[in-house]
Structure 1
C-alpha cells in the first residue's frame, strides 16, 4: 500500500466496508490528525467499536495491521504540512503553471495506480472478453475518453460502441440485455445522463462498470464494478485535468491486459490495424 494515499484508500474502499467499518472510516476521515496519536484501544473507544473491528478495518483497507496503517497515515499528513504541489495562482509564470499541472498529473497517476483494486480489474477483463456487446457512456470531458476506449476495444476485436449524446445514451442502454457490458465514465460520478444510462442498462440485465474519481458517488454505488481514480485536489480553472489522464490510463491498462491475454489472436488484429493505417498514410502522402 502506497504511503501517500492512506485517506484516498479509505474513500476507495468505502463502498465495500461493513457498517462498523464505515463508522471507523467516517471518524478517521474527520479526525485524521488525532488518529495518528492513538493506539488500537483508543481508536476503538473513540469510534464506539472493538479493537478487533479496528484491526479488521485496517486489513480491509489494504494494510497488514494498525501499526502499518497509522504509519502510512502519519507519513501522508507529514507530506501535507509542506505541499509538494503549490496551488495555482494568477501570478504564476507560464513555466510555473505548466510545472504544477505536470507535477499534479504525475502524482495523480501514481496514486491512482496505488489505489486500483486489481480483483475488480481482473473481473472486468473477464466481463469484457465474454460480453456480447460493450456500450461505453460519457459526456462532457468524459466524452473523448469514451470514444478512445471504443477505439481501443474495437481494434482488439471487441464489439464496443461509445455514446456521448444524452438523447442516444438511454436508447442504447435500453436496448442492452443479459450478456452485455455497460461502462460509464464520469469524474464526479454524479452526471445525471451517464448515471441514468448505467442504471437503465443494469435494469435490462447488462453487467455495469463505472470509471470515476469518487468511490462513494452515485455512479460507483450503482455499478456492479467500480474503478476509482485518485481525486486530485489541484485548483484547476478548467475541470478535472488530472482525473481525465487517470481515467484514460485505467482504460489503456485494461486494453493492454486484454491484448496480452489475447495472444496471437490479438496480435493478428493489431497487425491488421497497422496495415490498414499504413495504407491510409500512403494514400495521404501520394
Structure 2
C-alpha cells in the first residue's frame, strides 16, 4: 500500500500530536534526506519521542518504521509519489483530522451521549454521509433521525425539546437558506446544535451552540468534492463518542 492510501485510510486514527508530526513530515518531504530519516534524527528534529514515531507508523498500517520510510521515499528520485493535487489532498485530510480533534470538547460529547434523540440535517452529498453516520450511531444504541428535505427539516425542528434532543448539522458552506430556516426554529426551542462546516464566517455559525471546523475543499466540473472532510469529521466524532462512552460506563 502506498503512503497516500495509508494516510487516507488511517489518518483518523492518529492523535493530535501524531497528526501534526505527519503533517510536518509531508511538508518537509523535499528537504529531508534518506540518510537523515532515522527515528533518532526525526525525534530530535520534531521534538518528540521515538515511541511516538513508532506508534504513528503503526497506526498508519506499517509493521515497522522502516516500511514507513520506504513508502515515504518511494520513487522520489524519479518522480514524487504525489502530484501537486495529491499533496493538497493529503494535506487537507491530515489538517482536517487535526482540526476536528482540536475542536472536540467534553461538553460536546456530553450533549450527544445524553440526548434521547439525535437529529442530523444535511443536504446534497452531506445527506448520504449523514445516513452513514446514522447507522454507526444506531449500532451504538442511539436514536437517530436524518433529514434533507426542507419541509421535513422545518417540521422536525418544531418537535424538538431542550435537554432531550441534540441536533447535528452538516454544511460545507454554512449558508443554505433551508438549513438556516430550520435552525432558527431549533434555536427557539433552546436545543443543542453542533455544526460541522469548513466556513468560518457563515449564518449557521451564529445559530450553532458548538462548531467543528474542517479544512477547505475545492470543487471543479472535472473533480467534484465528495465531502471527504465531512467523512473524516464524523469518523473522528464516532471514535470520540466510543472512547467517551467507555470512560463513563
Answer whether contact 1:195 1:219 (CA < 8 A) is retained: yes
Distance (whole Å) between structure 2 residues aligned to residue 137 and residue 158 of structure 1: 16
Indicate the residue corresponding to 2:242 in structure 1. 259
Picking from 196, 201, 209, the partner of 2:181 is 196
Answer whether contact 2:100 2:213 (CA < 8 A) is retained: yes
Indicate the residue corresponding to 2:167 in structure 1. 182
Distance (whole Å) between structure 1 residues aligned to residue 222 and residue 123 of structure 2: 16
Distance (whole Å) between structure 1 residues aligned to residue 220 and residue 90 of structure 2: 15
Q: Does 1:130 align with 2:114?
A: yes
Picking from 107, 110, 113, the partner of 2:97 is 113
Indicate the residue corresponding to 2:192 in structure 1. 207
Deviation at 1:121, TM superposition (A): 3.9
Cα distance change of structure 1 residues 221 and 264 upon mapping to structure 2, 3 Å threshold: closer
Of Structure 1 and Structure 2, the greater helix share is in: 1
Distance (whole Å) between structure 2 residues aligned to residue 115 and residue 259 of structure 1: 19
Which one has a bigger Cα radius of gyration? 1
Answer whether contact 1:134 1:181 (CA < 8 A) is retained: yes
Distance (whole Å) between structure 2 residues aligned to residue 174 and residue 238 of structure 1: 40
Deviation at 1:104, TM superposition (A): 3.2
Cα distance change of structure 1 residues 262 and 238 upon mapping to structure 2, 3 Å threshold: farther
Distance (whole Å) between structure 2 residues aligned to residue 130 and residue 264 of structure 1: 14
Deviations 1:197-247 (A, max 9, x none): 222112112111101111211112210001111113x452268616x1111
Distance (whole Å) between structure 1 residues aligned to residue 181 and residue 123 of structure 2: 12
Picking from 135, 138, 151, the partner of 1:154 is 138
Distance (whole Å) between structure 2 residues aligned to residue 172 and residue 256 of structure 1: 27
Cα distance change of structure 1 residues 119 and 106 upon mapping to structure 2, 3 Å threshold: closer
Deviation at 1:142, TM superposition (A): 1.3
Indicate the residue corresponding to 2:210 in structure 1. 225
Picking from 125, 129, 144, the partner of 2:128 is 144
Distance (whole Å) between structure 1 residues aligned to residue 168 and residue 198 of structure 2: 14
Task: Look up the SS of the partner of 1:251 in the other structure.
Answer: helix
Structure 2: runs of 5 or more not aligned: 1-16, 24-81
Distance (whole Å) between structure 2 residues aligned to residue 192 and residue 228 of structure 1: 20
Distance (whole Å) between structure 1 residues aligned to residue 179 and residue 90 of structure 2: 27
Answer whether contact 2:169 2:194 (CA < 8 A) is retained: yes
